[in-house]
Amino acid sequence: MPRLVRLAAGEPDEILAIVSQRDSGSRLMMVRLRGGRLEISAQSPAIGTPKRWLNPVGVADLDGDGRAEIAAVTTPHIGGTLRVYRRQGDELVEVAALAGFSNHIYGSKELGLSAPVSIAGRMRLLVPDAARLQLRVIALEGGRLFETGRCALSAPVTGAMTVMSPSAVSVGLLSGRQVIVPDACRK
């Protein structure tokens, strides 16, 4: 599912998409409109292994520098790793990674199991753990990702995460929906 995103104020919108090659797996790609034509403006390296996939978490200014980063979980079905990328020219360069996540269920059409949210004025990533039984709250600071909290869930995450207000999100679980207050989730 392509996403319309903007990496910084004053820049035009671009399309963030996932592309896959049979021999090297998936990668992120940014596409923009230039001179009335679509062109690839930046891309990440491919995962490097055939039949391996990634699922974006979202695009947000995670470190407060005024430029958005792109977060995605690579191989969410087999030992998923949360990776954060920054645009550097025509490349999306990985700047931080942390293991132990899954934001997709094999065979499901639902891609929204995770999201960036503002918690106490700072952008954080809410991403299910590898078993999808806890919601991990992740920060990017000093060039590294680290966990600031965990929210216990009553069943595995299977449905979309919806931001309800600045202080609450609704998470689709196998047993129904659960409202989470991310600021209350402590490590």
- What local confidence, expressed as pLDDT, does residue 51 receive? 78
**123 pLDDT tier (thresholds 50, 70, 90):** very high
- If one compares 55 and 166, the residue with the highest pLDDT of the two is 55
**Predicted pLDDT of residue 38:** 93
Ordered strands of the 144-152 beta sheet? 115-119, 122-128, 134-141, 144-152
Query: How far is 16 from 18, CA to CA, in rounded Å?
Result: 7
pTM, two decimals, is 0.94
Distance CA 148, CA 100 (A): 15
Give the mean pLDDT of 86-99.
Answer: 97
Distance CA 71, CA 105 (A): 18
Check pLDDT > 90 for residue 149. yes
Pairing relationship of beta strands 144-152 and 134-141 according to DSSP bridges: antiparallel
For the residues 44-62, what does the mean pLDDT come to?
A: 91
Q: Band the pLDDT of 166: cuts 50, 70, 90.
A: confident
Domain region containing 166? 3-184
| pLDDT tens profile 2-37 | 899 999 988 999 999 999 988 888 999 999 998 999
Number of domains, the chain? 1
Terminal Cα-to-Cα distance of the chain (whole angstroms): 33
On average, the pLDDT of the chain sits at 93
Percent share of the chain, pLDDT over 90: 75
- The CATH number linked to 99 is 2.130.10.130
Q: Average pLDDT, stretch 97-119?
A: 92
